[in-house]
A and B are shown apart, each in its own frame.
Chain A
Amino acid sequence: MHEYKIFLKEKKQIDELMEQGCQIVSVKENLNGAFVQFRPIDEEALDQVNTLRLLTPDSRKYFTNQLRLKRQVKN
């Protein structure tokens, strides 16, 4: 199994949501993976919540790094 391919797919999903102006608002990690909730920053679209279920360890690292990056930009 080439896990990297799954990571690339998951990374693409994360990147797309972030490019659309979404931010991570909640992370729940359990036996089935990481469930990461994205919500648009745009006030009008606040009810559009997207939840990604991420399976690979590289994705779990990736979204955390992205979250930190966004925080750093903000501050």
Chain B
Amino acid sequence: MADLSINFAGIKSMNPFWLASGPPTNSGYQVQRAFEAGWGGAVWKTLGDPIVNVTSRFSALHYNGQRVAGFNNIELITDRPLDVNLREIAETKKKFPKQVIIASLMVEPVQEKWHEIVKKVEDVGVDGLELNFGCPHGMAERGMGSASGQVPELVEKQTSWAKEAAETPVIVKLTPNITDITATAYAASQGGADAISLINTINSLMGIDLDTWNTIPNVAGKGTHGGYCGPAVKPIALSMVGECARQTDSNIPISGIGGIGTWRDAAEFMLMGATGLQVCTAAMHHGFRIVEDMIDGLNNYLDEKGLASVMDLVGRSVPKYRDWGDLDLNHRVVARINQDQCIHCNKCHIACEDGAHQCIEMYTDKNGKPALKVREEDCVGCNLCSIVCPVDGAIDMIEKPGEEPMTWNERQALLNTL
């Protein structure tokens, strides 16, 4: 059994799995049950001046039979008074001293307000703080959440105010609703952040009801943009984590969030530079006990890989994540159809004809049966045929020997010598 414990910016956690700030961390009752189920930590539902929520708040994208491929919410931060939350945090910490509790905080961009709330939450024994600069709806209209998280100067300033008062590590939670997330990651580190976490939810509108023309969800016929999360956002989150991880001017620890629901997702985020992980939608969809599979799966994977500690995974894929200009132009793969597996649905032919490079030909084989083959010389190796193929293993992408590697950057440098 591998060692799953992590040290995240000085916070020691028995495993990398934390619940992200959201409905599952709304109360002591829930967080305590989560800890019983095996979660290593929880980021409490964001604390701040209590708000009023609307109904309904959630909607989901069900895609071709998969429930909750994406999830959208217009919920705000906690609607419970600070002292109630603090009492429950203290109780929970007392019952579960080994598990990590992080207080997520959101106040107006005023120095005294940050000092005040930091002191209050640290007094009840939290292990760290997470500054919520990410919530894209409601709070943003009040100058908080993503409204301040989109302005690097405000991120830096507010981080430094929190740091002035903080004795525990400060994690800055970043909004993905920005063109270049490394700009705010950098601002957070300049403000003294001990770590960053990403991503919060992505601006979204789930849909329109074609009978009533109301938005989905709607509140008495009116809607507003929400925050998108769940499996659909994982590729976006992973790339943003990768972009932050490969910044050479900062090696700030990263807590990866966004669409994590399995041990595989977890391992991918860690390989791409996340030391810790946070989960919201998957816990809302499947309950706290999904962490059992995540722990078992990650353990088995580490054993298979011969790794003693989960920390050995962190960042291993980062050097492989590069600018386009560093990719080898001479690398060549082509599609090959395995005739014994092909079910002759012709999806690859249609996709190649209409959406790619017209190199999959239909022919009649020697037994008079229809068959398909790739004209390899015209195949650009785009993968489209293997992506649309409904049968695993019917189309392989084969590597072809080519010239010595040459990247675009090397090519341009060579041409510049002429």
Chain A residues at the B interface, C-beta cutoff of 8 Å:
1-4, 24-27, 61, 64-65, 67-68, 71
Contact = CB atoms under 8 A, between A and B. Distances in A.
B204 interface: no
Contacts of A24: 418
Contacts, number: 31
**Per DSSP, are chain B's interface residues mostly helix, strand or loop, or mixed?**
loop
Contacts of A61: 329-330, 403, 406
List 3 tightest A-B contacts by C-beta distance, closest first: A4-B377, A65-B403, A4-B378
B119 interface: no
Nearest to A66: B403
A48 B329 CA distance: 32
Interface size class of B (residues with CB under 8 A): 10 to 19
A26 B415 CA distance: 8
Interface string B155-179: 0000000000000000000000000
B414 A67 contact: yes
Interface of B: 329-330, 357-358, 375, 377-378, 403-404, 406, 411, 414-415, 418
22 contacts: A1-B358, A2-B375, A2-B378, A3-B357, A3-B378, A4-B375, A24-B418, A25-B418, A26-B418, A27-B418, A61-B330, A61-B403, A61-B406, A64-B406, A64-B411, A64-B414, A64-B415, A65-B330, A65-B403, A65-B404, A67-B414, A71-B414
**Per DSSP, are chain A's interface residues mostly helix, strand or loop, or mixed?**
helix
A24 B417 CA distance: 11
Given A2-B378, A4-B377, A65 B406 contact: yes
Nearest to A61: B329
B374 to A, nearest CB: 12
Given A1-B358, A2-B378, A65-B403, A27 B415 contact: yes
A27 B418 CA distance: 8
Nearest to A65: B403
Contacts of B329: 61
Contacts of B357: 3
Nearest to B378: A4
A26 B414 CA distance: 11
Contacts of A68: 404, 406, 414
